[in-house]
Structure 1
Amino acid sequence: MPPHASVSHGVSVTPSVSPTELLDFVRRTAADSALIDSLPLDPEGRTWVRLDGPGGSEAWLIGWPPGTGTGWHDHAESQGAFATARGALRENALAARLPASGWKTLELAEGLDRERELTAGQGRAFGRHHVHEVYNASETEHAVSVHAYHPPLPLLRRFSRTGAVLRLEQIERPEDWQ
């Protein structure tokens, strides 16, 4: 049985990993210079390596060439955290929890946009249904970051955005990432 697990009516129950625990993990991992240096970097596209996250969480080490990003997306029912290990990443996020389902297009109210830059050593945690985009705005330098999600990502919803209109474009599942 995993550490800190309990048994309830014959079913093993593993406690949830909090966003704070995920943030601690990504910060510690981002400070591991040997691990960060081991990531192969590609000048054309993002590279990644899967890591063992705390409490069965899903974790990734990701390399970001100049000008690359994720586009608008969320992590469904998973909460998460990420930290920049090298370079800087920008995050645009919405300061509102969007409905989990039942919509294809939303018109966003004014004042929901948040932008932050995370330089080496900085990180942030987020809750379920957090909609954001992350990107390397540098024209010359790679960025490297560590990400963790709990529970492991059941799906990822991708969005397009034009002004105040957010549109659900695609739903990806883990088998799509193989």
Structure 2
Amino acid sequence: MSQHTAPLPPIAPAPVPASAPSAPTATELLDFVRRTAADRELIASLPLDPEGRTWVRLDGPGGSEAWLIGWPPGTGTGWHDHAESQGAFATARGTLTENALAVRLPASGWKTLELADGVDRSRRLGEGTGRAFGRHHVHEVLNESPDTHAVSVHAYYPPLPLIRRFSRTGAVLRLEQVERPEDWQ
């Protein structure tokens, strides 16, 4: 008795899982914070506290972390960086001042650094303006107004693994504290 076998049908390839979204670029983060800052209804929904900053977490693009932040008059962040995250922020209401250092700091292994002359940068960001920045960007953000709240939108990718906080006296920058996400969420 002869046996005849039919050829097997070709095996269909396994379905390819949908790829994870690609990491957002600094430009995409900046576009997001500018668009979000223009959302008047969202901006008006942020509760403002006369004593301290307020914030609400938002869904950022491509898995980024985003925040809507209210700044009472005379408040600021102090000097800090966002470790390995790149980011962007835009002012939605009022005016913010960003003081930044045009220098890349070592990622670890130091407590005190003396800064060279000429590394300080300062910019004022009025309503609708924003900026993007790369990893290890050291800055402070301030609402210098004596009587007006400011509101801004911030986005970071990858989501913030930590924030390093610094003190500054003249040209000396000192690492004071390392905060983890559980410290501010």
Both structures adopt the same fold (TM-score exceeding 0.5): yes
Over the matched positions of the two proteins, sequence identity in percent amounts to 83
Q: CA deviation at 1:175?
A: 1.0
The answer (yes or no) to whether the contact 2:97–2:122 under 8 Å persists in 1 is yes
Query: C-alpha separation between the residues in 2 aligned to 1:142 and 1:176?
Result: 24
Q: CA deviation at 1:123?
A: 0.1
Query: C-alpha separation between the residues in 1 aligned to 2:125 and 2:182?
Result: 30
Partner of 2:113: 106
1:64 aligns with 2:82: no
Q: How does 1:1-178 map to 2 (within 5 A)?
A: 6=19, 14-178=21-185
Query: C-alpha separation between the residues in 1 aligned to 2:100 and 2:182?
Result: 26
Q: Which amino acid aligns with 2:86?
A: Q
Give 3-state SS (helix, strand or coil) of 1:34's partner: helix
User: Deviation digits for residues 46-83 of structure 1, max 9, x if unmatched?
Assistant: 00000000001000000000000000000000000000
Q: CA deviation at 1:15?
A: 2.0
Q: Which amino acid aligns with 1:70?
A: T
Higher share of residues assigned strand: 1
Say which one has the larger Rg.
2
Give 3-state SS (helix, strand or coil) of 2:41's partner: helix
Give 3-state SS (helix, strand or coil) of 2:177's partner: strand
TM-score, normalized by length of structure 1? Answer: 0.93
TM-score, normalized by length of structure 2? Answer: 0.89
Q: CA deviation at 1:113?
A: 0.1
Q: For structure 2, list consecutive stretches of 5 or more residues without a partner in the other structure.
A: 1-17
- Which stretches of structure 1, 4 residues or longer, exceed 6 Å deviation after superposition? none
Q: Which amino acid aligns with 2:130?
A: G
Q: CA deviation at 1:176?
A: 1.1
Q: CA deviation at 1:17?
A: 1.0
